[in-house]
Structure 1
C-alpha cells in the first residue's frame, strides 16, 4: 500500500486524503501491534517504548487527539517540543487552533492538548495544581524521578466519562540519572527481579509508610497505616522500529544498525541493560558500582560492624538513611521518611537500634544532624561528626593529589575501595537508588595553595541532578572518611586530628 501511495501524483494524493478524512473517520488510529496494545491498555501508568522508532510520540499525540479531553505532553526542555509541534501539524494538516506562546492546542471535538517542559528540577511547580486527565511524558528517562512523581500528582478530571491515565514513552537511559526508570518498572526491566512481569501485564502498587513503592496482589484497596489506599496499576509494553510500518519502509532500521555500542543495543533492541556511557568526570564508574552490587550476597554471620554512616533528614521528600559497614561488606541500607526523623531525638532513636559492636556512627553534622549528634554523644556512643566542608588531611593513593574537603575525601576513598583492582574490593547491596546516588557524583581538580586537590560536586548539585537527596550514597561514603575510631571507642575518648597546614 505504501509503495502504491508513493506512485500517486499530488492531485491523486490530495483526493485520497479527502476520502480518508471524509465522514466520521478518526484523525489518528494506532498501528496494529504494540502501539495499539499501549493505546488500549487498562493500566493507570504505561511505559511504551524501549527501542527507537516504535511510534512513541505518535502514541502520545494520538491519545490527545482521540481519547483524552484535556491532556499535556511533557518534554524535559522546551526546545524539544518543536518536534511534537511539527508532528501534530503533519497529522492535522494545519496549525489552526495552536497558540505557540501558551503551548496550548485546541483540537477538533473540543479537546485540548498542552505542551510543557521542566528543564530545572524544581520546574514542576509551574504545573502545581493544574488538572489534566492525561499526563504524557516523551523521553521519560530524561526526567528526574521527583519531577515525574510530582507532576502525575495532579492527574484528575471532573468528567466521569473521561478516563485518567499516565503514559510514558522513551528509550533506555543513557546516563545514570535515568536509572530510576528501571527501578520504577523493575518487574519488566530488571533481569534479577524475583517475580518478573510479561510485556503488557498489569501489576499494582501502593506507596507504603516508608514512602516506598510496594507491590500488592491486585486492584483491591489495602490498608497503608491507618488509610485505606487504592492501588495503581503499571505496565511496560516494548516496541521497536520493526513495529512501525512507516519508518521501516524508509530505511530507518539501517540507521539504527549503524550506531556504535552501547547506543546500538539501546536504540535498536531496546536493551535496558546495555552499558550507559559515563561522563568524563564521574567520580565512580557505573560499572564499578554494578560490580560491587553483583559481588554482594546476604549473610547470616555478618561479622564485626566497623562503621555506620548516618545521613539524617527532616520532612519533605528526603529520607534518613543508615549504611552499616562490616569491613568490606555492607548490609542493606535502612531508610525512613524525613517526617519520621523530624528532630534530634527521633533521628537518634532511629539510628541507635541499628548499631552493633560499638561501631562508630559517622553522622552528617549539618542541619538536623547537629541535633541528632548531640543526643548520640549524650548517650556516650562512638560518634564522629562529619562536616563535608571541613578541611581534610589525606592524600589520594594514586598520586600527590590532596582533597579539597572531607566530602572529597570520603567519596574518593569510596572510589578507591570500589576499584576492581583493589586487593579486597567492597560489596554493596543491590539497591538502584544507591547506584544512582553514587553515579551522580562528579569531581574536578582545583588548586589549593601550592598543591592540586580533588573537589566533589556539591550535594545541592547532586540533588538537582537526581531530583532528590543522595542520602543513601552519602551514608555509604561517610564510612570512608579518614580518622574513623575503631569499634568500642566513645565520644569522650576520641579526638579528631588537627587540620593540615597547607603552607608546608
Structure 2
C-alpha cells in the first residue's frame, strides 16, 4: 500500500488494487488483538477527530461518517461521554452502530441508556424531546457532550447542556462535538447563526473549514468574537474564550458508503433536499410548513432590502417587549416609517422590573414616537414607569378582541396578536408597493418564521388565529422577543404621535428644571 493516503477515495482505490493475498493480510492486521478498537478515516473525519477546537460542527452533507466520529471519540479519547438525540427513538441507530463496531452488546444497559466500554470508559445516550428536557441533565458532568443531528435541537437546549461540560481529571480533554446536516426548517436556522463565520456567505470575516475562531458571551448575553484564546474582561470578570470550528464532509469521504451506491440515492432526492444532503448546502431553501404565517423568503427579502441610514427620518413607533425573566430579553424595535433600525436587546436579568425596563426604553425613543408595550406581566409595570416619564405610550394586550379585517376584507382576527402578525405579513408581501425593511438579524428571522396560524370560526366570519407566544417559545426553545417587538408596531389602533408642539418630553422637562435651578441660584 502507498505510504501516503489522504482521503477515503485514495484508500478505496488502494484496496481495490490489492491481490487476494494482500487483502487477507490486511484483514489479519485489522483483527489483531493489539489493533486499535476504532480509527478515524483519512480526510475530514480525521480532521474533526484531531481538531483542537472546544466546539466542533462536523458534517453538512449526508453519509460523511458523522455518527461514527461521535462513537469513535467515546471509544478512544474520552472517559465519560454522552450522545444526545432530540427523541429517544432516534437513539436506536446509535445503539446498533456501536454494537457493530464492538461486535457485542456486552456492557450496555438499555434501561439507563448507559454503555460501559472497554478501558473503563462510559458512554451515555440521552434525549431532550421537550424544550425543557435539558433540565433532566442539569449538573451532570461529562467530558464529551456530543449532539447527533444538531439542527434538530433548540438553541437553548444546546447552550444549557454544554454548560456542564467538565471533568475532575486534568489529563482528559473536554470537548463538544456536533454532527448534522443543514436545517430543513426555519427552526434550525440558529445553527447557521452560531457557526456564521463558516456557513453565512454574507459574513464580513469568513472562516475556512477547520479554522479556529474564539468567542465569549458579552454583557448582553450574545456571542462576541475575540482575536485569540487570551482571557478577556466581560462585565468585570476575566473570561476564557472558547474556540469553534466547522469541518464539512460528504459521502465521498466515507469509505464504508462510497462503494455502496449511497451517493446515487442522494442524487435522486428532490430539491432542496438534494443540495442539502448531497453537497451540504446550508443556503439551499428550507421548505416552509404549510401553515407558516410569514414565508421565510419574505423575511429574507426584507433583510436584503435593509441598508444602514445616517438620516433615519422621524421615528414613528417603537415596540417594547419586556422580558419575563430567566433567559428572556427585553427588546426594542425602533420603526421609522417602513424602515426598522437594528433591534436593541438587553438580558432579562438587567431589565428585571418596571423601573429598569423603563430606563432601558427611554433613551431609545425619539421624535415623540409612540411606545407600543406588551402590557401583560412585567410589561404592565414597565408601562406605568414609562408613562411616568411623560412619554407617549400605547399598551397592547394581545388577547383583546380585534375589529380589523385583512386587506381582502374576507378574514377577521381572533385577537390583537393575530391582527398585528397579519399586518406584518401584509407589509412583507412582495406585492406590497412599499414593503418594509428589516435589519439582517438571524434571531429575528427565526422569531418571525416560527409563527403558525389557522383559520377558525368567529360567529358568521372566518378568522385568523396565530400560535401563542408560549407555543413559539416551545418550538424555538427561547422567547421570540425580537420578533414580538417588531410585531407590536403593527396593531391598527396605535395612535399617531401628537403634533402639539407644547407637549414636552421628559428630556425637555429635566432641562427646564436644571435651567430654573440655575436661575434661582444666580438670583
Q: Same fold (TM over 0.5)?
A: yes
Query: Does structure 2 retain, via aligned residues, the 8 Å contact 1:382–1:489?
Result: no
The answer as to whether partners of 2:86 and 2:153 remain within 8 angstroms in 1 is yes
Q: Deviations over 1:100-125 (max 9, x none)?
A: 11000100000000000000000000
1:61 pairs with 66, 71, 74, which one?
Answer: 71
Partner Cα distance (2:391, 2:298) in 1: 34
5+ residue gaps, structure 2: 1-10, 504-523
Alignment pair present for 1:241 and 2:248: no
Mapped partners of 2:254, 2:419: distance in 1: 51
- Provide, for residues 10-45 of structure 1, a one-character-per-residue CA deviation record: whole Å limited to 9, x for no partner: xx9999766523232111101100000000000000
Cα distance, 1:348–1:243 mapped onto 2, change above 3 Å? same
In structure 1, the gaps of 5 or more residues are 494-504
Greater than 4 Å deviation, 4+ residue runs: 1-8, 12-19
Q: Who is 2:441 aligned against?
A: 431
Which residue of structure 2 aligns with residue 328 of structure 1? 338
C-alpha separation in 2, matches of 1:325 and 1:24 = 68
- CA separation in 2, counterparts of 1:28 and 1:320? 49
Structure 2 match to 1:71: 81
CA distance 1:284–1:106, change in 2 (3 Å):
same
Q: Whole-Å Cα distance in 1 between the matches of residues 337 and 348 of structure 2? A: 28
Question: Aligned-pair distance for 1:451?
Answer: 1.2
1:263 aligns with 2:263: no
Map residues 219-234 of structure 1 onto 2, 5 A cutoff.
Answer: 219-234=229-244
* 1:203 counterpart = 2:238: no
* Shift of residue 448, structure 1, vs aligned partner: 1.1
TM-score of the superposed pair, with normalisation by structure 1: 0.94
Displacement of 1:484 after TM fit?
1.1
Q: 1:315 aligns with which of 325, 329, 333?
A: 325
The structure with the largest alpha-carbon Rg is 2
Matched, 1:133 2:143: yes
Whole-angstrom CA distance in 1 between matches of 2:392 and 2:29 = 81
How far apart, CA to CA, are the structure 1 residues paired with 2:91 and 2:326?
Answer: 31
Shift of 1:488: 3.1
Deviations 1:73-99 (A, max 9, x none): 000000000000010011111111100
Name the CA distance, whole Å, in 1 between partners of 2:105 and 2:39.
20
Describe the SS at the equivalent of 2:384. Answer: helix
Distance 1:460 1:328, change over 3 A: same
Could you say if the C-alpha distance between residues 2 and 330 of structure 1 is closer, same or farther in structure 2, counting changes exceeding 3 Å?
closer
Q: Deviations over 1:416-447 (max 9, x none)?
A: 00000001110000000000000000000111
Residue of structure 2 aligned with 1:487, choices 490, 494, 497? 497
1:261-290 Cα distance to aligned partner (Å, 9 max, x none): 111000011110000000000000000000
Cα shift at 1:217: 0.5
User: Would you say 1:353 and 2:353 are equivalent positions?
Assistant: no
Q: What do residues 39-67 of structure 1 show as CA deviations (whole Å, max 9, x unaligned)?
A: 00000000000011110000000000111
CA RMSD across the alignment = 1.9
Q: Distance in 1 between matches of 2:383 and 2:471?
A: 25
Contact 1:50–1:240 under 8 Å retained in 2: yes
Q: 1:4 to 1:291 in 2, by over 3 A?
A: closer
Residue in structure 1 matched with residue 62 of structure 2 by the alignment: 52
Q: Does 1:97 align with 2:107?
A: yes
Does structure 1 residue 187 correspond to structure 2 residue 197?
A: yes
Per the alignment, do residues 328 and 3 of structure 1 end up closer, same or farther by CA in structure 2, a change over 3 Å counting?
closer
Q: Which residue of 2 aligns with 1:83?
A: 93
- Identify which of 122, 126, 138 aligns with 1:116: 126
Alignment: residue pair count: 488
Counterparts of 1:372 and 1:464, CA distance in 2: 25
* Structure 2 residue 28 is the aligned partner of structure 1 residue 22: no
